[in-house]
């Protein structure tokens, strides 16, 4: 038999290879989210399927572990680390300004979705005698899992349809933020109740109220401190200059806060999410995201596959009918629970339906909640299988329903929404005589912004699109053919125009020198000075 260290290395290699291939094939052939491919790969190669097969020399690659969960403790620890990275980046990607702009509609939609989802999810366990009552851990976890929303899948469909900035799109995103907050708080309360029951503490209304108050107190207190100290913390990180060091320190503090959250009796992902949320309004967001993205791309698929490996098919079959009913209720709960408040917030039936189906997909948060429930002993393999089935069904149905809801081009609002309170944005267009000149000027603008200590993020190597951040300033700079476009807030347009004017004057001065001088050395020196200015531009 091989050593546990070698077995872990082989397991990790197999998971990385097959999750990437599974996710790629599912996206390419069926146009479905890669997370489903990763989940399915875990089910196929897990200890309850092919993983228990004995091979010559190496034995079973994924034997059923005896440590309380189906996989080895090393692999589960790595999956836990991946879940912290996932929730940390989710917090970083939270748009607080969008949430505040649509706070009324988003709050109503989010609360409605959480209440109806929790009621139907927990009720499903009670009505089918899976749980002994509404306070049974099985009922609580099924209710908590039903509240989760994976808005990333809906955001992809909205982006493809160019509806991210529509009233429905922005409301879905804002409601998802509130949904995540309430879902994590619900998880914290449920975990606290389960741990209290495990410790032999009798549950009562005062005790449940104390658990809820502790969860809200930790969440609100840590979030408030994080948001208040975020700028100061950001300035401290900037002293290190090196992007890898900045990102590593941010992730390290996320892990520390995750540990403190666990010590406080809550789930670790709560602390990770709070840390990401605290940094979401700083100008380090793109830098941290870019540096950690590689780690995210490698480890998060391993997390989803590990969740799939915990599925015991023999335990699912007896509750397959209940699992399908639970999945249907999970769809209905979001359509009704989010759609009805949308009707009260100025949307018509088209807009309410789009918002409701946009909140249907479950994903990483539901899987994390299910994993916590299984490893804590609060739920059994059959309930875990029900949760996996619900996640798969809603993830399959959600994108299809949302895409179909936009086939009808009718407005989703009962009357045009006023634009007051919305940040006025301006697009500055600068045409050039040739594409080469526009490309040269774009490079100059990138260098100019970096000299002024802005953080410039190139979205993808094949695109000519840059995000430029500094404190509360955010510009989107792109080249389309021979034209440069800069999108910025109206209040920042004068600043951008001054930057453009300065670089245009530098370019004109350089061209003027090349026309008047016959000295090729002077020309080369002028161009070199323009391209590589003497002042340092190490901020990237």
Q: Mark whether 219 and 109 lie in a shared domain.
A: yes
Answering whether pTM is above 0.75, one says: no
Q: What tokens appear for 157 in the block?
A: 């469909």
Q: Mark whether 87 and 191 lie in a shared domain.
A: yes
User: Going by C-beta distance under 8 Å and a sequence separation of 6 or more, which residues neighbour residue 180?
Assistant: 90, 94, 149, 273, 365
Residue identified by tokens 């599925």 is: 311
Q: Mark whether 289 and 182 lie in a shared domain.
A: yes
Q: How far is CA 323 from CA 35, 44, 220, 393, 405, in A?
A: 20, 19, 35, 10, 26
Core vs surface per residue 2-41: b (16+ CB within 10 A) or e: eeeeebbeebbebbbebbbebbeebeeeeebbbbbbbbbb
Q: What tokens appear for 239 in the block?
A: 């002293």
Q: Mark whether 83 and 46 lie in a shared domain.
A: no
Final residue belonging to a domain, choices 371, 405, 439:
405
Q: Which helix (H) or strand (E) holds 476?
A: strand 473-480
Q: What tokens appear for 267 in the block?
A: 């789930």
Beta bridge partners of 54: 60
Q: Is residue 434 part of a domain?
A: yes
- Position 450 scores a pLDDT of 75
Q: What are phi and psi of 200, to 5 degrees?
A: 85, 15
- Position 253 scores a pLDDT of 93
**Distance (Å, whole) CA 531 – CA 244:** 26
Cβ atoms of 5 and 290 closer than 8 Å: no
Q: Which strands sit side by side in the sheet containing 483-489, from one edge to the other? A: 425-431, 483-489, 473-480, 465-470, 455-458
Q: Alpha helices of 376-519 — where are they, by DSSP H?
A: 381-405, 435-451, 493-516
Cβ atoms of 268 and 84 closer than 8 Å: yes
Calculate the CA dihedral of residues 241, 245, 251, 252 and round it to 10 degrees.
-120
Q: Is residue 536 part of a domain?
A: no
Q: Mark whether 450 and 332 lie in a shared domain.
A: no
Domain range holding 485? 429-531
Q: Mark whether 390 and 465 lie in a shared domain.
A: no
- Is 487 strand, coil or helix? strand
Tally of domains in the chain: 3
Q: Mark whether 143 and 21 lie in a shared domain.
A: no
Calculate the CA dihedral of residues 425, 293, 176, 378 and round it to 10 degrees.
-170
Q: Which helix (H) or strand (E) holds 200?
A: none
Which CATH number do you get for residue 377? Answer: 1.20.1530.20
Q: Mark whether 370 and 462 lie in a shared domain.
A: no
- Position 119 scores a pLDDT of 93
Q: Is residue 68 part of a domain?
A: no
- Is 363 strand, coil or helix? coil
Q: Is residue 115 part of a domain?
A: yes
Q: Is residue 136 part of a domain?
A: yes
Q: Is residue 363 part of a domain?
A: yes
Q: What tokens appear for 521 in the block?
A: 């050395």
Q: Mark whether 88 and 191 lie in a shared domain.
A: yes
Q: Mark whether 152 and 47 lie in a shared domain.
A: no
Residue identified by tokens 């969440």 is: 219
Residue 46 is given by DSSP the state S
**Distance (Å, whole) CA 1 – CA 179:** 48
Q: Is residue 92 part of a domain?
A: yes
Q: Mark whether 221 and 331 lie in a shared domain.
A: yes
Q: Alpha helices of 280-319 — where are they, by DSSP H?
A: 285-309, 313-316
- Position 523 scores a pLDDT of 47
Q: How far is CA 180 from CA 55, 87, 117, in A?
A: 43, 10, 13
User: Going by C-beta distance under 8 Å and a sequence separation of 6 or more, which residues neighbour residue 538?
Assistant: 241
**Distance (Å, whole) CA 540 – CA 446:** 10
**From the centroid of its chain, how far is CA 48?**
30
- Position 337 scores a pLDDT of 92
Q: Mark whether 400 and 473 lie in a shared domain.
A: no
Mind listing the pLDDT tens digit of every residue in the chain (540 residues)? 677 788 889 889 999 998 888 877 877 777 666 677 787 888 888 888 888 888 877 778 888 776 656 788 888 889 889 888 887 887 787 666 655 566 677 778 888 988 999 999 999 989 988 888 887 878 888 888 888 776 556 655 665 566 755 777 778 766 766 676 676 677 777 777 777 766 666 666 676 677 677 777 877 788 888 888 888 888 898 888 788 999 999 999 999 998 888 777 666 877 887 888 788 778 788 788 888 888 888 888 888 888 788 777 777 777 788 889 999 999 999 999 999 998 888 888 888 998 899 888 876 667 777 777 777 777 887 888 888 888 878 877 877 788 788 877 787 788 765 544 455 678 888 888 888 888 888 888 888 887 776 767 665 545 577 878 776 677 888 888 888 888 888 888 888 888 888 887 877 777 776 666 555 555 455 545 544 444 444 333
Q: Is residue 540 part of a domain?
A: no
């Amino acid at each position: 038999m091989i050593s546990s260290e070698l077995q872990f290395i082989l397991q990790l290699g197999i998971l990385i290879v097959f999750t990437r291939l599974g996710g790629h094939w599912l996206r390419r052939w069926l146009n479905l989210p890669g997370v489903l491919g990763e989940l399915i790969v875990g089910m196929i190669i897990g200890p309850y399927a092919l993983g228990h097969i004995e091979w010559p020399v190496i034995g079973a690659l994924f034997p059923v572990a005896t440590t309380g969960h189906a996989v080895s403790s090393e692999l589960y620890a790595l999956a836990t680390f991946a879940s912290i990275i996932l929730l940390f980046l989710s917090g970083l990607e939270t748009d607080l300004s969008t949430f505040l702009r649509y706070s009324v509609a988003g709050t109503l939609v989010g609360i409605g979705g959480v209440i109806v989802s929790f009621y139907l999810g927990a009720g499903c366990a009670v009505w089918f005698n899976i749980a002994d009552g509404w306070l049974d851990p099985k009922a609580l976890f099924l209710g908590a899992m039903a509240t989760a929303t994976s808005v990333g899948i809906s955001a992809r469909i909205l982006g493809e349809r160019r509806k991210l900035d529509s009233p429905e799109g922005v409301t879905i995103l804002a409601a998802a933020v509130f949904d995540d907050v309430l879902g994590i708080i619900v998880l914290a309360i449920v975990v606290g109740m389960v741990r209290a029951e495990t410790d032999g503490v009798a549950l009562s209304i005062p005790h449940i109220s104390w658990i809820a108050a502790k969860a809200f107190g930790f969440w609100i207190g840590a979030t408030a401190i994080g948001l208040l100290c975020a700028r100061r913390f950001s300035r401290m990180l900037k002293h290190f200059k090196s992007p890898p060091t900045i990102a590593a320190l941010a992730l390290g503090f996320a892990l520390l806060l995750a540990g403190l959250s666990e010590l406080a009796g809550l789930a670790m992902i709560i602390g990770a999410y709070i840390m990401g949320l605290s940094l979401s309004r700083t100008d380090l967001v793109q830098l941290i995201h870019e540096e950690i993205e590689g780690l995210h791309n490698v480890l998060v698929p391993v997390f989803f596959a590990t969740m799939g490996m915990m599925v015991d098919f023999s335990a699912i079959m007896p509750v397959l009918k209940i699992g399908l009913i639970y999945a249907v209720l999970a769809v209905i709960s979001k359509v009704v629970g989010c759609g009805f408040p949308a009707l009260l917030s100025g949307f018509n039936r088209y807009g309410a339906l789009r918002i409701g189906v946009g909140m249907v997909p479950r994903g990483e948060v539901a899987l994390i909640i299910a994993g916590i429930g299984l490893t804590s002993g609060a739920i059994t393999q059959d309930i875990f299988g029900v949760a996996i089935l619900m996640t798969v069904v809603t993830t399959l149905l959600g994108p299809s329903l949302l895409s179909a809801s936009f086939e009808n081009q009718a407005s989703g609002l009962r009357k045009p929404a006023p634009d007051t309170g919305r940040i006025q944005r301006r697009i500055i267009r600068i045409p050039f005589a040739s594409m080469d000149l526009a490309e040269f000027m774009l490079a100059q603008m990138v260098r100019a912004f970096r000299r002024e200590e802005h953080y410039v993020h190139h979205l993808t190597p094949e695109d000519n699109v840059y995000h430029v951040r500094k404190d509360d300033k955010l510009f989107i700079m792109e080249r389309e053919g021979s034209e440069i476009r800069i999108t910025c807030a109206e209040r920042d347009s004068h600043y951008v125009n001054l930057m453009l004017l300065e670089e245009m004057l530098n370019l004109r001065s350089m061209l003027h020198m090349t026309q008047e001088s016959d000295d090729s050395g002077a020309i080369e020196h002028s161009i070199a000075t323009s391209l590589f200015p003497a002042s340092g531009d190490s901020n990237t």
